[in-house]
Amino acid sequence: MTEIIKFSVDDVRFPTSKDLTGSDAVHTDPDYSATYVTVVTSDKNLKGYGIAFTIGKGNDIVADCIKHFFPMFEGMKIEELENNIGNLWYKCVDHSQLRWLGPEKGVVHMAVAAIFNSLWDLIAKKHNKPLWRFIVDSEPETIMKWLTFKNIEDALSRDEAYAILSESQKHKDERIKRILKEGYPSYTTAAGWLGYSDEKIVKLCKKYTAMGWKHFKVKVGLDLEADVKRLKLIRETVGDDSFIMVDANQQWGVEQSIKHINAYKKFNLLFVEEPTSPDDVLGFVKIKKAIGNINLATGEACGGRIMFKQFLESGAMNICQIDSCRLGSINEILTVLLMAHKFKVPVFPHAGGVGLCEYVQHLCMIDYILINGEKDNKFVEYSDQLHEHFIYPCSIKDGNYMPPKDNGYSIEMKQNSVNEFLFPHGEYWRKN
């Protein structure tokens, strides 16, 4: 039987702050980074890869935390891992000492995500399937063993979750055929970074419109007058038939959020993302009451399922934005997808960064096929950067994510990219 021999973790950082790619109201100079985990097995042809995404400083802290979990899995047979992955996940999340640094949020939770992202990659490869296909091909009884309902069962019971998973089986084959043919709709952030010039914004809007995109996200939050000017420019460039959403990246207080959002109404926004603190459920409720029919989106910075429970139950969230690395990998993501479905809140996964697009393409396929059954008028974020560093980059056709066909979770990086951008001793960082 194949067993896990060892793990390694690399601190890989890309200097995106040089051209302000990824810049927003709070993160003004991000260096998109990945804590990159490799799982080595006794089968030389079978390895697992996983990441947690950060934006530079602090990537080393996540990497150091990840190392604390390695001994729990070294020497474990893959069959044992697969059969017990639900219990193992919660054993990590609820570690009697490490949990104090969360609990179930922050650096420790991101470390758990990176570890389990690599383990799910390994399991999918063992079955010779892309991760999304492995998940949707699994029986409801099996999936239920992966999940924890602790602290959310008052919002989503085990029976309710099982009923959703069982109901989806009826039309699963039809949905698989449809997704393979059509893909899953996306929106682009590539033209809307806060640090970009007007000329660059216009050029990129025209570029992505020509490539098939009709949904554009724009970063806002530092200056109301400048934001309005930028939104006017983008609306004039993309036309009235396209959709605009804005992202303030947690910049405002509640009253300021209301003021700014009301000033944006004339641009017919699809949603406003993270206007205030991502932990302020009651603040989101107040904002929602004051802005009328404009949708509020949040979730990329929610550390776990318990925060999502509060946002969904209270009606504070109109758009649910899961993240593949802040939530504790597939185990927790599935419970959030199930909750969002119960509360009839559409899921627009957060992407961009390093490898997040590669990850979320699997998540949207799972949501559509296994849980929600709808993909029209739902969109996944897409940012056109850093894909060249991955062996199996995501594929976009006419503005749609096409389902991955390669085995695993699509996150293995090219070794020359790791060598060049390894921090601090990689070729790039030695020279700069």
The confidence band for 192, taking pLDDT boundaries of 50, 70 and 90, is confident
Q: What is the CA radius of gyration of the chain?
A: 21
CATH of residue 409's domain is 3.20.20.120
Let me know whether 34 and 63 are in one domain: yes
Among 191-195, 211-215, 368-372, the range with the most confident prediction by mean pLDDT is 368-372
Average pLDDT over residues 273-293: 96
User: Quick check: 133 pLDDT over 90?
Assistant: yes
Query: Strands across the sheet with 33-41, in order?
Result: 4-13, 33-41, 47-54
User: Quick check: 25 pLDDT over 80?
Assistant: no
Is residue 215 annotated as a catalytic residue, yes or no?
no
Average pLDDT over residues 192-203: 89
Q: Which residues contact 113 (CB under 8 A, 6 or more apart)?
A: 50, 52, 324, 325, 326, 327, 328, 329
- Between strands 243-247 and 215-219, the pairing is parallel
CATH of residue 89's domain is 3.30.390.10
CB atoms within 10 A of CB 171: 12
User: Quick check: 26 pLDDT over 90?
Assistant: no
Residue 429 to residue 230: CA distance in whole angstroms: 34
Is residue 219 annotated as a catalytic residue, yes or no?
yes
Kindly state the tokens that stand for 202.
Answer: 């216009």
Q: How far is CA 201 from CA 195, 204, 216, 237, in A?
A: 10, 5, 11, 9
Average pLDDT over residues 65-74: 97
Let me know whether 30 and 172 are in one domain: no
Average pLDDT score over the chain: 95
* Concatenated DSSP letters of 409-420: -S-PBPHHHHHH
The confidence band for 336, taking pLDDT boundaries of 50, 70 and 90, is very high
Rounded to the nearest 5°, which phi and psi values hold at 397?
Answer: -135, 120
Annotated catalytic residue: which of 105, 341, 350, 378? Answer: 350
Let me know whether 211 and 347 are in one domain: yes
Task: List, for residues 134-148, the tens digit of each pLDDT value.
Answer: 999 999 999 999 999
pLDDT of the residue at 360:
96
Residue 376 lies in a domain: yes
pLDDT of the residue at 415:
98
Annotated catalytic residue: which of 95, 105, 129, 219? Answer: 219
Residue 148 lies in a domain: no
Let me know whether 425 and 401 are in one domain: no
Query: What pTM was estimated for this model as a whole?
Result: 0.96
Domain limits for position 388: 166-414
